[in-house]
Amino acid sequence: MMIIGCDFHPSWQQVAWVDNESGECGERKLVHAAGEAKMFYQQLGAPALIGMEATGNSQWFLELVEDLGHSIWVGDAAQIRASYVRKQKTDKRDAAHILKLLVEGRFPRLWTPDREQRDLRQLVLHRHKLVEIRSRVKNELRHLAMNKGMQKKATLWSQAGQQTHRWRSSRSGTPILARSLERRGRYLGVGGWVLGVGPKQ
Protein backbone atom coordinates (compact mmCIF):
# COMPACT_ATOMS: atom_id res chain seq x y z
CA MET A 1 0.00 0.00 0.00
CA MET A 2 1.23 3.47 -0.84
CA ILE A 3 1.43 5.86 2.12
CA ILE A 4 1.78 9.56 1.34
CA GLY A 5 2.62 12.52 3.56
CA CYS A 6 1.25 15.76 2.11
CA ASP A 7 2.29 19.28 3.08
CA PHE A 8 -0.67 21.13 1.56
CA HIS A 9 -0.72 24.76 0.40
CA PRO A 10 -3.48 26.50 -1.59
CA SER A 11 -1.39 26.71 -4.78
CA TRP A 12 0.75 23.60 -4.45
CA GLN A 13 1.69 20.70 -2.24
CA GLN A 14 4.84 18.81 -1.30
CA VAL A 15 4.44 15.04 -1.04
CA ALA A 16 6.64 12.27 0.30
CA TRP A 17 5.68 8.64 -0.17
CA VAL A 18 6.68 5.08 0.54
CA ASP A 19 5.33 1.80 -0.85
CA ASN A 20 5.03 -0.75 1.94
CA GLU A 21 5.28 -3.68 -0.48
CA SER A 22 8.16 -2.67 -2.74
CA GLY A 23 9.93 -0.27 -0.37
CA GLU A 24 9.98 2.37 -3.11
CA CYS A 25 9.99 5.93 -1.78
CA GLY A 26 10.24 9.44 -3.18
CA GLU A 27 9.18 13.05 -2.94
CA ARG A 28 7.76 15.62 -5.32
CA LYS A 29 6.25 19.08 -5.53
CA LEU A 30 2.82 19.26 -7.20
CA VAL A 31 1.49 22.54 -8.62
CA HIS A 32 -2.31 22.69 -8.49
CA ALA A 33 -2.88 25.11 -11.37
CA ALA A 34 -1.02 22.82 -13.75
CA GLY A 35 -3.15 19.83 -12.75
CA GLU A 36 -0.14 17.95 -11.39
CA ALA A 37 -1.92 16.89 -8.18
CA LYS A 38 -4.81 15.29 -10.05
CA MET A 39 -2.48 13.48 -12.46
CA PHE A 40 -0.27 12.23 -9.62
CA TYR A 41 -3.10 10.70 -7.61
CA GLN A 42 -4.79 9.31 -10.72
CA GLN A 43 -1.73 7.34 -11.78
CA LEU A 44 -1.43 5.50 -8.44
CA GLY A 45 -2.09 1.84 -9.15
CA ALA A 46 -3.91 1.03 -5.90
CA PRO A 47 -5.77 2.96 -3.20
CA ALA A 48 -3.35 4.98 -1.10
CA LEU A 49 -3.41 6.43 2.40
CA ILE A 50 -2.77 10.18 2.42
CA GLY A 51 -2.09 12.28 5.51
CA MET A 52 -2.19 16.07 5.75
CA GLU A 53 -2.50 18.81 8.36
CA ALA A 54 -5.87 20.45 8.97
CA THR A 55 -5.91 23.59 6.83
CA GLY A 56 -8.31 25.84 4.94
CA ASN A 57 -9.15 25.93 1.24
CA SER A 58 -8.60 22.18 0.91
CA GLN A 59 -12.13 20.84 0.40
CA TRP A 60 -11.61 20.39 -3.33
CA PHE A 61 -8.53 18.26 -2.62
CA LEU A 62 -10.35 16.08 -0.09
CA GLU A 63 -13.11 15.44 -2.63
CA LEU A 64 -10.58 14.75 -5.39
CA VAL A 65 -8.74 11.99 -3.57
CA GLU A 66 -12.00 10.51 -2.26
CA ASP A 67 -13.39 10.33 -5.82
CA LEU A 68 -10.21 8.54 -6.90
CA GLY A 69 -10.73 5.90 -4.22
CA HIS A 70 -7.96 6.93 -1.83
CA SER A 71 -8.19 7.37 1.93
CA ILE A 72 -7.21 10.72 3.39
CA TRP A 73 -6.55 11.48 7.03
CA VAL A 74 -6.55 15.03 8.37
CA GLY A 75 -4.33 15.57 11.39
CA ASP A 76 -4.19 18.06 14.22
CA ALA A 77 -1.70 20.69 13.02
CA ALA A 78 -0.64 21.68 16.56
CA GLN A 79 0.12 18.10 17.57
CA ILE A 80 2.01 17.48 14.34
CA ARG A 81 4.18 20.55 14.96
CA ALA A 82 4.70 19.57 18.60
CA SER A 83 6.05 16.16 17.56
CA TYR A 84 8.56 17.81 15.23
CA VAL A 85 12.04 17.47 16.76
CA ARG A 86 14.03 19.79 14.50
CA LYS A 87 13.24 23.49 14.81
CA GLN A 88 14.17 24.32 11.22
CA LYS A 89 11.16 23.50 9.05
CA THR A 90 10.95 23.16 5.29
CA ASP A 91 8.17 21.90 3.07
CA LYS A 92 10.10 18.72 2.26
CA ARG A 93 10.73 18.02 5.93
CA ASP A 94 7.09 18.68 6.79
CA ALA A 95 5.89 16.17 4.20
CA ALA A 96 8.47 13.62 5.33
CA HIS A 97 7.48 14.16 8.97
CA ILE A 98 3.79 13.57 8.21
CA LEU A 99 4.77 10.41 6.33
CA LYS A 100 6.84 9.23 9.30
CA LEU A 101 3.91 9.72 11.67
CA LEU A 102 1.67 7.70 9.36
CA VAL A 103 4.14 4.84 9.03
CA GLU A 104 4.80 4.70 12.78
CA GLY A 105 1.10 4.86 13.67
CA ARG A 106 1.49 8.17 15.57
CA PHE A 107 -0.50 10.40 13.21
CA PRO A 108 -2.92 12.59 15.28
CA ARG A 109 -5.98 11.98 13.16
CA LEU A 110 -9.02 14.25 13.49
CA TRP A 111 -12.62 13.40 12.77
CA THR A 112 -13.70 14.91 9.44
CA PRO A 113 -17.26 15.31 8.12
CA ASP A 114 -18.30 13.53 4.93
CA ARG A 115 -19.09 15.41 1.74
CA GLU A 116 -22.80 15.84 2.49
CA GLN A 117 -22.05 17.22 5.94
CA ARG A 118 -19.45 19.61 4.49
CA ASP A 119 -21.99 20.92 1.96
CA LEU A 120 -24.61 21.41 4.67
CA ARG A 121 -22.11 23.33 6.79
CA GLN A 122 -21.34 25.62 3.87
CA LEU A 123 -25.07 26.29 3.37
CA VAL A 124 -25.55 27.08 7.06
CA LEU A 125 -22.54 29.42 7.00
CA HIS A 126 -23.88 31.16 3.88
CA ARG A 127 -27.31 31.64 5.47
CA HIS A 128 -25.68 33.00 8.63
CA LYS A 129 -23.88 35.63 6.56
CA LEU A 130 -27.14 36.58 4.82
CA VAL A 131 -28.82 37.02 8.21
CA GLU A 132 -25.98 39.31 9.33
CA ILE A 133 -26.34 41.42 6.16
CA ARG A 134 -30.13 41.60 6.61
CA SER A 135 -29.78 42.70 10.25
CA ARG A 136 -27.23 45.36 9.30
CA VAL A 137 -29.52 46.80 6.59
CA LYS A 138 -32.51 46.81 8.94
CA ASN A 139 -30.52 48.69 11.58
CA GLU A 140 -29.44 51.27 9.00
CA LEU A 141 -33.03 51.77 7.87
CA ARG A 142 -34.25 52.05 11.46
CA HIS A 143 -31.72 54.80 12.27
CA LEU A 144 -32.52 56.68 9.07
CA ALA A 145 -36.23 56.51 9.90
CA MET A 146 -35.64 57.70 13.47
CA ASN A 147 -33.70 60.68 12.15
CA LYS A 148 -36.87 61.62 10.25
CA GLY A 149 -39.08 61.30 13.32
CA MET A 150 -40.47 57.81 12.63
CA GLN A 151 -40.76 55.83 15.88
CA LYS A 152 -42.37 52.66 14.51
CA LYS A 153 -39.91 50.03 15.78
CA ALA A 154 -41.00 46.58 14.54
CA THR A 155 -44.00 47.98 12.64
CA LEU A 156 -41.56 49.72 10.31
CA TRP A 157 -41.30 46.41 8.42
CA SER A 158 -45.06 46.04 7.89
CA GLN A 159 -46.66 47.12 4.61
CA ALA A 160 -48.22 50.14 6.31
CA GLY A 161 -44.87 51.08 7.83
CA GLN A 162 -43.17 50.80 4.46
CA GLN A 163 -45.78 53.06 2.86
CA THR A 164 -45.27 55.69 5.58
CA HIS A 165 -41.52 55.33 5.16
CA ARG A 166 -41.79 56.03 1.40
CA TRP A 167 -44.15 58.99 1.99
CA ARG A 168 -41.83 60.59 4.56
CA SER A 169 -38.85 60.02 2.28
CA SER A 170 -40.59 61.71 -0.66
CA ARG A 171 -41.44 64.74 1.50
CA SER A 172 -38.07 64.99 3.20
CA GLY A 173 -36.73 67.38 0.58
CA THR A 174 -33.55 65.31 0.32
CA PRO A 175 -33.70 63.19 -2.86
CA ILE A 176 -30.36 61.54 -2.08
CA LEU A 177 -31.68 60.31 1.27
CA ALA A 178 -34.91 59.15 -0.34
CA ARG A 179 -33.02 57.14 -2.96
CA SER A 180 -30.74 55.71 -0.29
CA LEU A 181 -33.72 54.56 1.77
CA GLU A 182 -35.38 53.08 -1.30
CA ARG A 183 -32.25 51.13 -2.31
CA ARG A 184 -31.83 49.73 1.20
CA GLY A 185 -35.49 48.77 1.27
CA ARG A 186 -35.22 46.88 -2.02
CA TYR A 187 -32.08 45.11 -0.80
CA LEU A 188 -33.86 44.12 2.40
CA GLY A 189 -36.71 42.74 0.32
CA VAL A 190 -34.34 40.56 -1.67
CA GLY A 191 -32.64 39.36 1.52
CA GLY A 192 -36.01 38.58 3.07
CA TRP A 193 -36.99 36.49 0.04
CA VAL A 194 -33.72 34.54 0.14
CA LEU A 195 -34.10 33.81 3.84
CA GLY A 196 -37.81 33.05 3.60
CA VAL A 197 -38.62 36.00 5.89
CA GLY A 198 -40.48 38.62 3.91
CA PRO A 199 -42.12 41.85 5.12
CA LYS A 200 -44.86 41.48 7.74
CA GLN A 201 -48.43 41.92 6.55
pLDDT digits (tens, 9 = 90+) for 90-147: 899 999 999 999 999 999 999 988 888 888 888 898 899 988 888 887 787 777 777 7
Q: Give me the residue spans of the domains in the chain.
A: 2-112, 116-195
| CATH number, span 2-112 | 3.30.420.140
Pairing of strands 2-8, 12-19: antiparallel
DSSP state of 86: -
Summarize the confidence of residues 57-71 as an average pLDDT: 94
Contact 166, 180 (CB under 8 A): no
Task: Say if pTM beats, i.e. exceeds, 0.75.
Answer: no
pLDDT computed for residue 184 by the predictor? 62
pLDDT computed for residue 197 by the predictor? 42
- Provide the β-strand partners of residue 12: 31
- Report how far apart the first and last C-alpha atoms of the chain are (Å, whole number): 64
pLDDT computed for residue 198 by the predictor? 43
